[in-house]
Amino acid sequence: MITVNAIGDACPLPVVKTKKALENLEAPDMVEVFVDNETAVKNVTKFVSQTGKKAVSKKIEEGRYQILIDCTGNSEEKDGSKEIQPEKSGGCAENTGNAGGTVVVISSDRMGEGKDELGKVLMKGFLFALTQLDTLPEKILFYNGGAQLTCEGSDVLKDLEFMQEQKVEILTCGTCLDYYGLKEKLKVGSVTNMYTIVETMAEAGKIIKP
């Protein structure tokens, strides 16, 4: 039995830890994942269903859930558990069949609309999740408020530096850096211009915008 402890981990760490555990299995075995909330249960079981494996989950106590993943080929329903049926989902498709590569465009230092604090947490989670994809994007474009993420003081620099090391091209709008007074504080990637941004988006096989 392989155990993954994701208690206290924020999204997307429970899924990332589960993914790594499944990839590192050297022989058929059971994998158990512990999480502390129902959202994490749903996220992990949905991911497992997309891999073609079966999972059962149960609430052990308040704030503690167990997810059992059968990697032996023999799936049995456990007492007090419920089998998680595969859900239909587009998932994270690999970049195949596209004329160009995948380009991520980020126009803000936060993700979505609503509470700014939550939006920043979501953006941090999004960029970390991006580093965990089997196929990384070809380029990431930062403009407007997103330009702040590539500069001194950003709490996502390590994730961006990791992707740059993996040959992901990181480009930040020079006009935006000038506007925010950040041109001398750029820490990762290089400065670009609006023509290159438009050209890159026009030639992309797929564009992802959080």
105-164 pLDDT, tens digit per residue, is 999 999 999 999 999 999 999 999 999 999 999 999 999 999 999 999 999 999 999 999
- Could you tell me where the beta strands, DSSP code E, fall in the chain? 2-5, 30-35, 54-61, 64-70, 82-84, 102-106, 139-142, 169-173, 190-192, 206-208
The distance from CA 31 to its chain's CA centroid, rounded to whole angstroms, is 22
Asked whether the predicted pLDDT for residue 88 surpasses 60, the reply is no
- 54-61 and 82-84 beta bridge pairing: antiparallel
Q: Which fold has domain 2-84?
A: Translation Initiation Factor IF3 (3.30.110)
Q: Which CATH number fits domain 102-208: 3.40.1260.10, 1.10.10.10, 3.40.50.150, 3.30.830.10?
A: 3.40.1260.10
Q: Considering the chain, tell me which residue range(s) the CATH 3.40.1260.10 domain(s) occupy.
A: 102-208
The yes-or-no answer on residue 11 being catalytic is yes
Confidence class of residue 165 from pLDDT cuts 50, 70 and 90?
very high
Residues of the chain with CATH 3.30.110.40: 2-84
What is the tens place of the pLDDT at every residue in 96-107? 334 579 999 999
Give the pair of three-digit tokens for residue 44.
């992990």
The one catalytic residue in 11, 71, 151, 176 is 11
Are 98 and 133 a contacting pair, CB within 8 Å? no
